Amino acid sequence: MRRALSLAATPGVPLGPNPRVGCVLLDDAGATIAEGHHRGAGTAHAEADALATAGDRARGATAVVTLEPCNHHGRTGPCAEALVAAGVRRVVFAQPDPNPEAAGGADTLRAAGVEVEGGLLEDEARELNTVWTFAIDHGRPFVTWKFATTLDGRSAAADGTSRWVSSPAARRDTHRLRALCDVMLVGTNTVAVDDPLLTVRDEHDQPLARQPLRAVMGERDLDPGRRIFNGDAETVHLRTREPDTALKQLYARGRQHVFLEGGPTLAAAFLRAGLVDEIVVYVAPMLLGAGRSAVADLGISTIADAFRPRVTDIAVLDGDEPNVRLTLAPARTDQGA
């Protein structure tokens, strides 16, 4: 199973919209017959990939798969039926499929007389597809809120200038994180005032081939000449002020991971709605004493009611101006389901 997980995590495999899955076929002596992994939407599933390599040798084999074999007709046929047709004797999987449209493969296999065991290294399999699993379970994208701040919690100076609060190393790291998401989300005010490009770029400031969807949330009209509407990536204007509505619209588009880079007002709206699932903050070693706060009013009047996310990672990003990156998780990640 650990080998199957390694196959699933093969570098270059897209993080969505499909889960990453690996499969290993074993003979009765435990020797590997064939291996396979899913390479993205529209390509063969991991089981089909391994079966194609194995051919007739799959008969009587054990299939070790990181996700319960699917049971539905999509761009490819049901993996459960393919395993039965190939004569596989036993299937061991890690994570049950949370997608109601694809679940039921284990039952199909058992009904055909195949021995089935589930739950082996399930936590590791879920970790491999954290965002995909969350989106399926909650019916909305996973939301990562990213912001940069000074030591005294300012995201911009009193005159409105904010370039650059974060260091070059922090900005490079931000592009790395952007590339892990499929939506960049800001509010209309950020577009109107800051005119961001919101693309993923490499160390030479060149756009990558794969770009997340750029989403603008808010009801007011925007100047079509803003950079977010150029041809570097697809852009959608979500004409709503309700975070849950915006997330539902993005989920309906097949999006699973939102990178929230809006200003303090939009961030506060998502926090108040319980719709932030991860926080990434870059802390710069500088003081401003005044200026725009990193987040707007949360309606908290006493220290006892403070929002207290749990720190999951701390890293120092080296360079001429070292920044500290904090990664945090809210106490509850099932809010806004």
Partnered with residue 311 across adjacent β-strands are 328
Q: In terms of domains, do 269 and 227 share one?
A: yes
Query: Is residue 276 included in any domain, yes or no?
Result: yes
- What total number of domains does the chain contain? 2
The residue among 66, 98, 128 that closes a domain is 128
Residue 13 exposed, middle or buried by CB count within 10 Å (0-12, 13-18, 19+): middle
Q: Is 47 a catalytic residue?
A: yes
Looking at residue 310, its pLDDT comes to 96
Query: Is residue 335 included in any domain, yes or no?
Result: no
Q: In terms of domains, do 201 and 291 share one?
A: yes
Q: Which CATH number covers residue 110?
A: 3.40.140.10
Annotated binding site for Zn(2+): which residue ranges?
Answer: 45, 70, 79
Q: In terms of domains, do 85 and 152 share one?
A: no
- DSSP letter at 207 equals B
Query: Is residue 336 included in any domain, yes or no?
Result: no
Three-state DSSP string of 102-139: CCCHHHHHHHCCCEEEECCCHHHHHHHCHHHHHHHHHC
Q: Which CATH number covers residue 241?
A: 3.40.430.10
Collapsing DSSP to helix, strand or coil, 233 comes out as coil
Q: In terms of domains, do 296 and 188 share one?
A: yes
The residue among 95, 111, 128 that closes a domain is 128
The residue among 105, 128, 151 that closes a domain is 128
Domain range for residue 163?
Answer: 134-329
Looking at residue 186, its pLDDT comes to 97
Q: In terms of domains, do 107 and 161 share one?
A: no
Active-site residue identified among 47, 203, 234, 242: 47
Looking at residue 335, its pLDDT comes to 45
DSSP strand pairing (292-293 vs 154-156): antiparallel
| pTM of the shown model | 0.89
Annotated binding site for NADP(+): which residue ranges?
Answer: 148, 164, 190, 194, 263-269
Annotated binding site: which residue ranges?
Answer: 45, 70, 79, 148, 162, 164, 178, 190, 194, 198, 201, 261, 263-269
Tens-binned pLDDT, residue by residue, of the chain (337 aa): 999 999 999 998 888 889 999 999 999 999 999 999 999 988 999 999 999 999 999 999 999 999 999 998 877 789 999 999 999 999 999 999 999 988 999 999 999 999 999 999 999 999 999 999 999 999 999 999 999 999 999 998 888 777 788 999 999 999 999 999 999 999 999 999 889 999 999 988 898 988 999 999 999 999 999 999 999 999 999 999 999 999 999 999 999 999 999 899 999 999 999 999 999 999 999 999 999 999 999 999 999 999 999 999 999 998 778 999 999 999 754 444 4
Q: In terms of domains, do 235 and 318 share one?
A: yes
Looking at residue 204, its pLDDT comes to 86
